[in-house]
Structure 1
Amino acid sequence: MTLTAFGPDFPFAYEDWLRHPAGLGQLPDYAHGASVAIIGAGAAGIVAAYELMKLGLRPIIYEAGRFGGRLRSERFEGTEDVIAELGGMRFPVSSTAFWHYLDRVGLQTEPFPNPLTPAAGSTVIDLEGETLFARTLDDLPPLYAEVARAYDAALEEGANFAALRAAVRNRDPVRLKEIWDPLVRDWDERTFYDFVTSSEAFRALSFRHREVFGQVGFGTGGWDSDFPNSMLEILRVNLLGLDDDQRLVVGGVGQMPHRLWTDAPRCAHWPAGTTLSGLNGGATRGRVCALSRDAEGEIIITDRWGRRDHYGAVLVTCQSHLLTTAIRTEERLFDQKLWMALDRTRYMQAAKTFVMVDRPFWKDPHPVTGRPLMSMTLTDRITRGTYLFDNGPDRPAVICLSYAWMTDALKVLPHAAEKRVDLALQALGAIYPGVDIASHIRGEPICVSWEADENFLGAFKGALPGHYRYNHRMYGHFMQDDLPPEQRGIFLAGDGISWTPAWVEGAVQTALNAVWGVMTHFGGHSAAGNPGPGDVYPALGPLDLT
C-alpha cells in the first residue's frame, strides 16, 4: 500500500475521515451559527476554520501577523509569481491529509530539488575544502554509500524498521503499536546522536563517517542540527517518509490558505456560496492580547484594540510560547501540567536567504569541466544548503543562497539582508571560483529568521529527550471529557502540538483533532460509519508513560 503519515503514536487515517461521503459529523440545530474563535491564520487555523464552517459553525479568525503563518510565499517585487518560500517549501507525498486540501483548491506540485535527486539535476558537496560533484549517490566516493548503508542498518537494528514501515503501509494499528510503543519507552530519553553512535553499524565506522552523516545526511540534507533531539522525533520522520519524495507547490504554498479562505464548500446551516472570508467580513481580526473566562463559562478574547468578544469555544494555533509572552492568559484555562508542557516546548531556529536572478544561469556549462556552473549545494560553510529554483529558460529564477538551522541560523541573526547575501556569496565563491553570481541578481533579497519574529519566536518544535510526556499532554488535550469545566472549550492545534513538528501534515492532523473536539463540545457527533479521531482515541491513543 501507499506510504502515508499513519501514526505511529496515534494511528488514525485522517484522509479517510475527510473523504468519507457521510462527512465528518453533525451538530444539533441549536449550535448552528455559533461563533468559534480561531487564533492564528496558518495551516492549522484555516483548515480547522474551513471544516467547522462546513459543520455549520461560524469561525472568527484572529491573526497577529501575516495570513498563512509559516506557509509564507513572498513574491519578489516587480513579478507576478516569482516567489521565495520562507516557511514550508517541500512537502512529502505521504502527507495525505494536507494533500486533501491542496487538491481541493486545485494547486499543482513539482518534485522538489533536493540533493542527489533528478529534480536537482546535480549536487555539489563541499566539506573541509574538498568539493565533490555528483548526480547520484553512486558518483560520490565509497564513504558516502557506507554512511547511507550504515544509517539504514542502524534503523533496522534499533527500531525494527522494515516491520514498522510495513505496519504503517498496511494500516495495521495493532502491529504498529506493538512495535512502536516499546520504542517510546526505550528511546524517549535518548538523543538522535546516541542512536547513531551506539549502533553497531556506525561503531564499525570512523568519526568521519558520523561527521559526513551530520553535515550531508541523505534525503533533505544534513542532520547534525537534530543530533540533540529525541530519537523518537527522527524515527517518525524516517518512518512516515517525511524526508522522501518531496514536492514544491507551483506558485507558492501560501496560495493554499488563501484559496481555502475564499472557497465555498457545501455547508450545513449556511447558504450556498458561504466562505470563510464572507463569515469574517472579508478580513481577519487582529492580535489577541488576552484570554480569560467569564462567570457564565464563555471564553473572552480581547484584541489589540480593546475589543472583547465571548465565545463558546476557542482554538489556539499559535506557537505555545505566545500564551505566556504575548497573550495574557488566565492560568486556570489550562492544567498546570499542561502549562509545563507548553512552556517547555523547545523551538529550533531557522534562517533563509533568497535572491532572484535574471535566469537559471547555473545550467550554463562550465567552460573547462562542461558541468553546470552551479548545483544544489551542501556545505559546512555558512550557507549550509543552497537550492536552485528554475521557473523556465526565459524567466527570472530564484536561488535560496542559504538555508540554515540552529547555530548556523544564529550566525546571521543580527545581520540585514544585504549582509546575509554578501556572506553567502563569499562562501559560494570559494566553492564556485570564477562564477559571478552577483551579476545575475535582480531586485532586493528576501530573508527570514523565524526566531526574530515576535509572532513565532522560532521556526518549529524540536523535542528534546524526555519531552514525550509533554507532547502527549498537548496532543491529547482535545479529549476533554475528564477536564474540569474551567478548562474545557479551549483547544490546541498546530505542528508544535503534533508528533511531527516542522511538517504541515502535523498541523493539519491536529487541526482535525480540534475540529472533532469543538464539534463534540457543542453537542455534536461523528457521522454514522465514519468515526472521528476522538471516537477511537481511547483504543488507539498514544502510549501513556505516566
Structure 2
Amino acid sequence: MKPITVFGPDFPFAYDDWITHPAGLGTLPPSAHGARVAIIGAGAAGIIAGYELMKLGLRPILFESGQFGGRLRSQPFEGAQDVIAELGGMRFPVSSTGFYHYVNLLGIESKPFPNPLTSAAGSTVIDLLGQTYYAQTLKDLPPLFQEVATAYDAALEDGANFSALKQAIRDRDSPRIKEIWNPLVAAWDERTFYDFVTSSKAFQKLSFHHREVFGQVGFGTGGWDSDFPNSMLEILRVNVTECDDHQRYIVGGVEQVPRKLWHHAPDAVTYWPVGTSLSTLNDGATRGAAKRIRRVNTDKIEVTDTWGRMEAFDAVLVTCQTHLLTTQIDTEEALFAQDLWMALDRTRYMQSAKTFVMVDRPFWKDKHPETGRDMMSMTLTDRITRGTYLFDNGPDKPSVICLSYAWMTDALKVLPLAAPQRVELALSALSKIYPDVNIRGHILGDPITISWEADQNFLGAFKGALPGHYRYNHRMFGHFVQRDMPLSERGIFIAGDGVSWTPAWVEGAVQTSLNAVAGIIAHFGGTTSADNPSPLDAYETDGPIRLSG
C-alpha cells in the first residue's frame, strides 16, 4: 500500500519529489548570482529556505532574535551528556517526507516516539475522574474507550468521506483530492471541531460522558479538548495526512537538524565555491534581531537589526511568527496589502507549556511487586499534568520525564509559576495516580520548563485557526505568488508553519519555505525545469479553493 504523506489536501503538491529531482529546483540568471536575501528567523523554515537558495547561487543572510532553531529547540540538562528536553517540536510523523529528506541528508537518526498505546511507550495509564486504567493497547481499555474510538472513526467517515480522501492522498490523485476536499472547506470553515463531533450521528448515539472522555484523553491516545474551538478543517488536515500517527523522535534532539544544515556544504552548488555553507556565507553567525523592515527603492528592501545596522537586500523572507511584524519589528505597512495584514495580525496562536526533569535511570521499567506491571507509564489524565511522557536513554543511564505537556487553559494555569513550582504541582498530581512511586527520589539537577506564549519572540506555540479563518490562511499561504501584486509589495515573502495549512507540524514550515524559494526564483527572473515544475508552476491549477466573499 502506498504511504500517506502530507500531500495537500488544500494544495496537493509533491514537495518531496521537487526537492529530490535531479533537475534541481531551478536556475537563476548569472546577474542574480550572489544577490543578498535577508531571512528573518533561523528556525526550520528559515534554515531550509536559506540552504536551498544558497544552492541556487544566492547569498542568504539570516537574522535571529532568540535561540537558533526556533521551535526546534532541544535544551540539554546541565552536567549530563546527550540528555535533552525537547521544548518545541518533539514528535515527527513519517508522513512529513519533506522534513525527513533533510533528516536523512544529514544522517540523523530517529526512533519511534513513546506515544500512548504504542509499543514504544511500553505501557500507558489513563487516569480519568479518579479512576486509573493500565493498558498496552486500546483493547486493554474498557469498552467505553473503544466506543469513543469507533465513534470518531465513524464521524470522520460519514462527515468527511475519510477513507476515500486518504486513498486519494496515497495515490497522489490531485483531481480526486480536490473533488472531496473542496466541498469540505465550504462546509466546515465556519464550524468548530466540537460541532463536528457533537453533530455526528455516531456521537449523538452516545452519552455526554463519551464526548467528555474524547476531550480529556481521547480514546487513550490523547485529549482533544484544547482543539474543540478550532475550525474543523485544522483537525481534518491532521487526521487525513496522519500527522497524529506513526510519529518518531530525533535521537540527540531535533535542534540538530537546523544546526547541522547551517554547517552543511552541499555537493552541488551554483556560483559559490565547493565547501560553501550557510555558516560561511554568514561569517559564522547570524545577525541579531530584525527591528525594522522598509523599502528603500523599487528593487531594495532595508532591514535594520537590533544594534542599528542597516543593510539593503534584493529580497526578504520573513519566517518568524506573524504577530511579530506588528509587535517586535517595525514593518513598513505598504509592504503588505491590507487584507494580508488582517490575516497576519488576526491569526490566532495556541498556548503550550512543558515541564521536564532528568532522572537517574528509567526506573519506570521496574516491575511492581504485587501487580507485575511497569512502576510508571506514559500517562494521560484530566489532572493538571494532562500528558506525561517517559524518555529512556538506556539501562542505568540518566533519562528524562516530561512531567507535563499541556495546552491552552492548562498551560495558562502554570504561566506565572517558576520551574520548581511547576514540578511540585506535577508531582502532586502524579502521586495520586502512582501512590507507590517515589518520582522525587530519582530526580537529578534542575528542571527545564517553557511557556511559549511568554516568549516575546513567539507569543504562542503554534497557529490554531478559528472558524472563518480559511480565507486568512489562504492569503498567507498564497503570498509567494507575486506576479499580479503591485511592485511595492513584491520581493518580501513569508513562510513558517503558521503560514501553512498544517500548523504545529514542521512539515508546514518545510513546505512554505519551499514555496518561498519558488517565489524568490521567479522574483530574480529564474526558471524551473519542465521536468520538475515548482509550487509556483502548479499553483494556478492545483492551488487551494477560493471561497467567495
Secondary structure of 1:25's counterpart equals coil
Deviations 1:480-515 (A, max 9, x none): 001000000000000000000000000000000000
**Which of 299, 302, 306 does residue 301 from structure 2 map onto?**
299
AA at the equivalent of 1:22: A
Question: Offset at 1:394?
Answer: 2.1
Deviations 1:21-78 (A, max 9, x none): 1100010000001110000000000000000000000000000000000000000001
Aligned to 1:545: 547
Structure 1 runs of 4+ with >4 Å offset: none
Does residue 1:286 correspond to 2:294, yes or no?
A: no
Aligned to 1:355: 357
CA contact (8 A) 1:188 1:465 kept: yes
Does residue 1:172 correspond to 2:173, yes or no?
A: yes
Aligned to 2:215: 214
1:434-453 equivalence runs, <5 A: 434-453=436-455
Secondary structure of 1:118's counterpart equals coil
Alpha-carbon separation, structure 2, partners of 1:212 and 1:256: 37
1:30-41 equivalence runs, <5 A: 30-41=31-42
Secondary structure of 1:147's counterpart equals helix
Does residue 1:92 correspond to 2:93, yes or no?
A: yes
Task: Single out whichever of 232-241 and 295-304 deviates more from structure 2.
Answer: 295-304
Question: Offset at 1:369?
Answer: 1.3
Question: Offset at 1:295?
Answer: 3.0
Aligned to 2:113: 112
Aligned to 2:259: 258
Q: 1:383 to 1:185 in 2, by over 3 A?
A: same
Question: Offset at 1:403?
Answer: 0.0
Alpha-carbon separation, structure 2, partners of 1:143 and 1:219: 10
Alpha-carbon separation, structure 2, partners of 1:444 and 1:525: 53
Aligned to 1:232: 233
Question: Offset at 1:367?
Answer: 1.9
Alpha-carbon separation, structure 1, partners of 2:142 and 2:209: 13
Does residue 1:145 correspond to 2:146, yes or no?
A: yes
Deviations 1:287-327 (A, max 9, x none): 11101001344111011110100011000000000000000
Deviations 1:336-356 (A, max 9, x none): 000000011100000000000
Aligned to 2:310: 308
**Which of 384, 387, 390 does residue 385 from structure 1 map onto?**
387
Taking structure 1 as the reference length, the TM-score comes to: 0.99
Does residue 1:340 correspond to 2:342, yes or no?
A: yes
Aligned to 1:277: 279
CA contact (8 A) 1:114 1:219 kept: no
Secondary structure of 2:513's counterpart equals helix
Aligned to 1:528: 530
User: CA RMSD of the aligned region, Å?
Assistant: 0.7
Taking structure 2 as the reference length, the TM-score comes to: 0.99
Alpha-carbon separation, structure 2, partners of 1:90 and 1:184: 27
Question: Offset at 1:526?
Answer: 1.2
CA contact (8 A) 2:117 2:221 kept: no
Does residue 1:103 correspond to 2:104, yes or no?
A: yes
Deviations 1:171-221 (A, max 9, x none): 000000000000000000000000000000000000010011111115851
1:404-419 equivalence runs, <5 A: 404-419=406-421
Secondary structure of 1:21's counterpart equals coil
**Which of 310, 321, 324 does residue 322 from structure 1 map onto?**
324
Question: Offset at 1:2?
Answer: 1.1
Aligned to 1:241: 242
CA contact (8 A) 1:127 1:380 kept: yes
Secondary structure of 1:409's counterpart equals helix
AA at the equivalent of 1:343: D
Question: Offset at 1:434?
Answer: 2.2
Aligned to 1:425: 427
Aligned to 1:473: 475
Aligned to 1:375: 377
Aligned length: 546
CA contact (8 A) 1:471 1:499 kept: yes
Question: Offset at 1:357?
Answer: 0.1
CA contact (8 A) 2:315 2:492 kept: yes
CA contact (8 A) 1:220 1:243 kept: no
Deviations 1:350-399 (A, max 9, x none): 00000000000011111221111100000000000000000000210100
Alpha-carbon separation, structure 2, partners of 1:448 and 1:367: 36
**Structure 1 residue runs without a partner (length 5+):** none
CA contact (8 A) 1:385 1:401 kept: yes
Alpha-carbon separation, structure 1, partners of 2:305 and 2:221: 40
CA contact (8 A) 1:219 1:243 kept: no
AA at the equivalent of 1:363: K
Alpha-carbon separation, structure 2, partners of 1:72 and 1:219: 27
